[in-house]
Amino acid sequence: MKRLLLALLLASPLAGRADEGMWTYDAFPSDRVARKYGFDPSTAWLDRARLASARLARGCSASFVSDGGLVMTNHHCVHECVEELSSAGKDLVATGFLARTGADELRCPAMQVDQLLRITDVTKRVHGALAGLQGARFNAALYAQKAAIEKECQGTDPGLRCELVELYHGGVYSLYQYRRYDDVRLVFAPEFAIAFFGGDPDNFMFPRYDLDVAFIRVYQGGKPARTPDHFTWSPAGAPAGALTFVSGNPGKTERLLTVAQLEYVRDHALPDALERLAEERGLLTGFQLTGPEAKRVSTSRLFYNENSVKARRGQLAALRDPAFFATKVAEENKLRAALRRDPAKARKYLPAWDRIAAAQVRALSLEIPYDWLELLPSGRSRIGGDLFWMARHLVRAADERRKPDGERLKEYRDTALPSLADSVTSTAPIDAAYETVRLGFWLEKVRERLGTDHPAVKHALGTASPAEVARKVVAGTTLRDPAVRKALWEGGAAAVDASKDPLLALARAADADARAVRKQWEDEVDSVEIQNQALIAQARFAVYGRSIYPDATFSPRLSYGQVKGWKQDGREVAPFTTFAGAFERHTGSEPYALPKSWLDAKPRLDLATPLDFVTDNDIIGGNSGSPVFDRDLRIVGLAFDGNLASLGGDYGFDDSANRAVAVHSSAIVHALARIYGADRLVSELGAAPAGTAGAAPPPGATRSTK
């Protein structure tokens, strides 16, 4: 980590040095690639790469790899689907899954795949509508603009999904139009033991020996979708030093935040998140000890928890390093000094930093109630459990759908409702014991963090304990039945208001307090940051031009780099690992236990085949599942992680040590052919099988179970 922090001193988000940058497709620096690598990506090339790339709405990246709707991503990106398709007597997480025929492919509940069709700059329209507004009026106007623009873009086509994307923290607004596929079926997933070989100890490490790959297929009208824009396959992969591209959807970076914002993240947001994650990890590990079924249903969440802990620790270490933080201060001071040399620019832009600093003070007073009442239970964290998350959205959707589209909370706009409906009415099985534990944990933490006498605590608990409330509402709810949820969703306000379900009653009791603190946060923190970060973005453009890339926003980006190891503690780290290394690392005990299919297939394998490799492409969380491809648009790998030095990548890029970790294209085909006997998949990929003689389907892993 120390090496990372020292190297980050040389890295500036403004410099555009080395191969740094997660670039939007409409502003990719082809000229820089040409100067360094002798290859000039054309507009047509960029269009093909964009259309062959995909996004999983749940938070990962992917790619089209055949003209028949076949999509490649990471195992950990479909782990939730595999878990949902499993049961106590059919644990596909442990055994893996392979559909022998198209009829065997299993639909993933609530999974959606997006393909970016076009990008339109709408900055002038949005900025014009927001001019002169502050606080609540600013937020209302921004909500209305987003709703109107997205609705105009989407029209009446249910297969489209439009998103207004804030780039440069509001300095630029782009409209992204996607083709959305909502019939997604599982084709192949290996055993969890090899997809996450090495477990948490090897996470964010290299050398690495994981086959973190999965294949899904998108359908239209009940048939495999036609996807003529797709990547082709390179069975040999890319050698050391070769130019590589990564197309994906990096989730969030904070390289362009002000010093005041970074101080808030360092001193409050990250420490609080780590405390919460540590407590939740204890909850999950304790729950897993109660039985094999408890372990099965909670494995996915524990995986993401441990991944988050390691990532947040790395981020906090970067921000706590005095030398690194000094560079962020110096970057800000340099920009502000340049503005001071022009009185007009100084008057226009410099107050933005002070207003953002004041917003951080307000954020500190709102953080605990906002996080625990609104953000964590309502958002992707689902800290109160899946059932409470569904109940809250049923209650809110019933209320929000009574309002004009432009006045609704963003997740209930007409353009967002189909996706939300799919999640709320998902047919995935729900474990009552697991839900009881999660709901009780959330209620306990709300009482602990807000205090027994807080109105929100009294509204949610009354005179009962958190554990009592959780047991009562989960035992009494009918929301575990997807048909009930579907009827409530379709019945709208009348059905929800008439329901006496205890979980809906809890959601109603907690809603007003959560809405109130959300409004305070959006009016007094979010609106101030968006408005003034947009001014700072304009200031950067005025001083540095448009040669900088925006922070990540979970929208499609393209990075370039090369297959490249690095030097660590004076020794060279080679860019490749092999199958032989995986067998050498095998101990027979978790997390270093290879699955039986691999042990049985060892005599058939070429152990010198590359398994994983690293590149210096600039990626971050959200890039999981991204295709790694060459200048000929051929797949050479599949990104699934970063190394330890990548953990500071939220705030800066260290080209000397920050590495993306990927599964090698030859490893994927070699395993499919010689371990899993997946000839149909290998043929569809157009990759010559590396000899399938003797390949036998291992029990469970290669038999579809319907």
Mean pLDDT of the chain: 94
Q: What angle do CA 595, 597, 601 make, to 5 degrees?
A: 125
> What domain count does the chain have?
2
pLDDT greater than 80 at residue 167 = yes
Clarify whether residues 278 and 333 are in a common domain: yes
Q: What pLDDT shows up at residue 58?
A: 86
pLDDT band at 115 (very low <50, low <70, confident <90, very high): very high
Clarify whether residues 329 and 399 are in a common domain: yes
Closest CA to 328 of 572, 5, 628, 101: 5
Q: Are 85 and 106 in contact (CB under 8 A)?
A: yes
Clarify whether residues 237 and 265 are in a common domain: no
Q: What pLDDT shows up at residue 547?
A: 85
Clarify whether residues 420 and 371 are in a common domain: yes
Region 317-343 average pLDDT? 96
Instruction: For residue 392, tell me if it sits in a domain.
Output: yes
Q: What pLDDT shows up at residue 77?
A: 97
List, in order, residues 6 or more apart from 562 with CB less than 8 Å away: 19, 37, 241, 242, 243, 244, 615, 616
pLDDT tens column, 460-477: 999 999 999 999 999 999
Clarify whether residues 269 and 239 are in a common domain: no
pLDDT greater than 50 at residue 331 = yes
Q: What pLDDT shows up at residue 545?
A: 86
Neighbours of 306 (CB within 10 A): 18
Instruction: For residue 668, tell me if it sits in a domain.
Output: yes
Clarify whether residues 513 and 568 are in a common domain: no
Instruction: For residue 705, tell me if it sits in a domain.
Output: no
pLDDT tens column, 347-373: 999 999 999 999 999 999 999 999 999
For the domain that residue 58 is a member of, what is the CATH number? 2.40.10.120
Helix and strand element counts for the chain (H, E): 28, 21
Tell me, rounded to whole angstroms, the distance of Cα 341 from its chain centroid.
41
- How far apart are the C-alpha atoms of 249 and 558, rounded to whole Å? 9
Clarify whether residues 201 and 308 are in a common domain: no
- pTM value is 0.91
Clarify whether residues 397 and 500 are in a common domain: yes
Instruction: For residue 563, tell me if it sits in a domain.
Output: yes
Clarify whether residues 278 and 366 are in a common domain: yes
**Structural domain for 392, as ranges:** 259-542
pLDDT greater than 80 at residue 693 = no
Clarify whether residues 197 and 335 are in a common domain: no
Clarify whether residues 560 and 497 are in a common domain: no
Q: What pLDDT shows up at residue 18?
A: 65
Specify the DSSP element, H or E, that contains 63. Answer: strand 60-64
Region 427-448 average pLDDT? 97
pLDDT band at 706 (very low <50, low <70, confident <90, very high): very low
- How far apart are the C-alpha atoms of 191 and 698, rounded to whole Å? 11
Q: What pLDDT shows up at residue 223?
A: 98
Clarify whether residues 517 and 629 are in a common domain: no
- How far apart are the C-alpha atoms of 84 and 476, rounded to whole Å? 23
pLDDT tens column, 388-409: 999 999 999 999 999 999 999 9
Quote the radius of gyration of the chain (alpha carbons, Å): 25
Q: What pLDDT shows up at residue 19?
A: 81
pLDDT band at 17 (very low <50, low <70, confident <90, very high): low
Q: What is the largest CA-CA distance in the chain?
A: 77
